Structures are given as structure tokens and as C-alpha cells.
Amino acid sequence: MIRVAQLLYSDTVMRGADTLIVDLAREQLREGGVRPLIVAAAGPQYARLLATRGVPYRLLPFVHPNRLNYLRVYAALLRKPPATDVVHAHGARALYLAVFLRWVSRRWAGIGLVYTVHDEWRQETLRQRVTARVEQWCCRRVDVLIACSAPMHPVLQRLPGPRAIALVRNGLELPAPQPPADLGHPPESHVVGVVGRLARQKRIDVFLAVAARLAASRTDVTFVVVGDGPERPALEALTAELGLDSVVRFVGEVADTAAVYAALTVLLHTADYEGTPMVLLEAMAAGTAVVATTVGGIPDLITAGEHGLLAPPGDAEALAEQVALLLDDPTLRAAVGGAARTRIATEFSIGAMAQHLSCLYATARRPDGEHGTDSEPSAR
């Protein structure tokens, strides 16, 4: 039995990777072989999720994701390392913590370290280039390095240092069909939605530009923005500026996203960069037709015309054309939705992901190392 601590430093708004970690821990508990513990600095929404999902967890200090809080988290982990054989870090901030703690602490030095790169390394601005270099420096000091999208795998293979570098695609447990959520739309209307954090990366402004193009030529569509984040005030202002208040609804965070996907005619994903986004896996698993941008691992997930439709990032006109194709052709919608659900069931299962990771944890484990001193965790 390998003890694995999933380490994340999240935000006030949950990310797709945050919920994936919970589902992974649940699958590891079912399968045996790995004893999971989620160690998280996260906001109250994630804390509530952990409390209801039956997985062992430890909450770290979290007031706001700033430098002072980061020091509190570092101090808490230095004082009391998790009782684990392997730490699996998610997100750059968790990686920095784990690498530095292994450098300064003898107890941490005996713990194997795995890191999953969830997003592309951006190079457009000086800040992005510096951040990428720091993350790459840390990546060379882990035991096992994981890409969750095919395009990132060869990038990681060029880094020296890790004992193993692997591609592990995100997985999902296929959900049972759900009744559609009430999103406040007219019952006869098509619904085009975007689901996720309202952050710059997701380019919700492009979603609104698509809505403006479609609303100018048809009256049978309502648009919904599901999620929250720092860009919401600016996006609401842009919605008013574009004259879309009557057709675009901001519904905020929704706990039951499966019911949201059931209510959507089309899910539109407009991100500028991604790894393998959980939103697309969830929508595809629900059989919802999707239109997405050709970034990160999305073309590896969606074969255009078979599992969904694709368009270049930032191209509102091309995205609007693809959405219109699905709105006007119910046969095509059903075909791509059904094929997408089958693809998730056969190639992106949470069970396959957990089994692959178990082998990598064995590679990362340091059998002669010293480990932390926590008592055995239990679900709270």
C-alpha cells in the first residue's frame, strides 16, 4: 500500500483540476493499492466539497491566495509534513512548496515527488516567461513528471532530472443521465453555455462576441455563463456594452454541473490555452455537443466532426459558424454527443487514470527515505 498525498494550493474559485483530485482519491479508495490524502490550501467551496465526498483530507491555512498566506502554508507543512510515501503536486504553487520543503527539511527529503503539468507554459509576456522558467527548474527536481495533454509530453521529455516522464490523460467517471437544470431560459430556446472560471485564460469575452454574432441573426438562442471569478464584473459590463443583457445570463457557481450540461444544446469552450480541460470531459461524458478551440490537448480529445467541432482560438466568427451548424442540425448534435460520451467511457476513464498513476507512484517512492509524522488520516 503506497501512501500518496495530493497537494494543491488553490484559489477562492475551484478549478477543474481541484474536482479531478477528489474523484481520483475516491477511485483510489475503491481500488486499493493507494492510500490517498488530499492536502489542500483552498477556499471554503472546496472545503465543503471535501467534507461531503468521503475522502481523507487535511486543510491548510487559507485566508486569501497571497504571499502571506503562502508563508503560512509553508510553515504548516514544514512543522507537520504529511504521513506519506509520495506527494503528488498539482499547480505551480504546490510544486514550489514541495521542492523547497524537500530542500530544507530532512523529513521532506525522504518523500517521493510527482508533479502534473496541467497547463501549457506561456511565453507571450516577460512574467509568463519567468514563471515558465521557474516551473521548469522545479520540474527537473521531481521524481516523476506528468503531462496531462499530448502536446506537453514531448516538451517535458526534454527536461533532465526526473526518473520518469509520462503522459497521463485526465479521467472521469461516466455520470448517469441527469434532468436538465433550470437556467432561466425560455423552454423553446436553444441554450449555448460556457462553464468554468471567469479568468482571462478562458476568454469569456470571445464567448460574448460569439453570442453577439448569433443573436444578431436569430432569436431562438439563450446564452449562459456558468461559473465565477475575477473577470466577472468586466464581463458583465461587456455584456451590457454589446446589448446582450436580454439573451445572456450569468448564473454563477452551480454545484450540480451534470444538470447544467443536460440543459445545454451546445457547450462552447473558448480558452486561449489549456491542458486537457475537465469541463470538456464532463460535457462530453454527459453527451452534450461541444465546440472548442484548437489549443493544448483539446485536438487530442476531440476529433473534429466526430466528437465535437473545433475552431481557432480567438476567432469569434469561426466559433459562431460551428455553433450555428450544431444548432441547425439536431442529427449532427446527437451524433457528436453520442460519440463523445463513448470516447470518454472507453479512453478517458478515472479507473484507467488511477491505475496508470499507481505505477508511477511506485517509481517515485523512496523506500529508504524518512517520512512525515502525522497520524493516519481519516475522512472528516
pLDDT in tens, 76-108: 999 999 999 999 999 999 999 999 999 999 999
Residue 12, pLDDT score: 66
| Residue 265 maps to a domain | yes
Task: For residues 156 and 223, state if they share a domain.
Answer: no
Task: For residues 270 and 219, state if they share a domain.
Answer: yes
| Residue 378 maps to a domain | no
| Residue 280 maps to a domain | yes
DSSP letter, residue 148: S
Domain count, the chain: 2
Residue 261, pLDDT score: 95
Three cell numbers written together for 175: 455520470
Please identify every stretch of the chain with a pLDDT value under 50, giving residue numbers as ranges.
370-380
Q: What is the pLDDT of residues 129-163, one digit of tens each?
A: 999 999 999 999 999 999 999 889 999 999 999 99
Task: For residues 240 and 296, state if they share a domain.
Answer: yes
User: What φ, ψ does residue 33 adopt, rounded to 5°?
Assistant: 95, -30
Q: Which pTM does this prediction carry?
A: 0.86
| Residue 28 maps to a domain | yes
Residue 321, pLDDT score: 98
Task: For residues 335 and 318, state if they share a domain.
Answer: yes
Task: For residues 339 and 357, state if they share a domain.
Answer: no
Write out the DSSP string of 32-100.
-SEEEEEEEE--HHHHHHHHHTT--EEEPP-SSSSHHHHHHHHHHHHHS--S-SEEEEESHHHHHHHHH
Task: For residues 137 and 223, state if they share a domain.
Answer: no
Task: For residues 330 and 357, state if they share a domain.
Answer: no
Identify whether the C-beta of residue 205 lies closer than 8 Å to the C-beta of residue 218.
no
Task: For residues 342 and 357, state if they share a domain.
Answer: no
Task: For residues 85 and 122, state if they share a domain.
Answer: yes
Task: For residues 260 and 307, state if they share a domain.
Answer: yes
User: What CATH number did the domain enclosing 281 receive?
Assistant: 3.40.50.2000
**Domain region containing 75:** 2-171+350-364
Identify whether the C-beta of residue 275 lies closer than 8 Å to the C-beta of residue 297.
yes
DSSP letter, residue 295: -
Task: For residues 208 and 162, state if they share a domain.
Answer: no
| Residue 154 maps to a domain | yes
Cα–Cα distance for residue pair 339/131, rounded to 1 Å: 38
| Residue 373 maps to a domain | no
Residue 372, pLDDT score: 45
| Residue 209 maps to a domain | yes
| Residue 372 maps to a domain | no
Task: For residues 139 and 230, state if they share a domain.
Answer: no
Identify whether the C-beta of residue 41 lies closer than 8 Å to the C-beta of residue 10.
yes
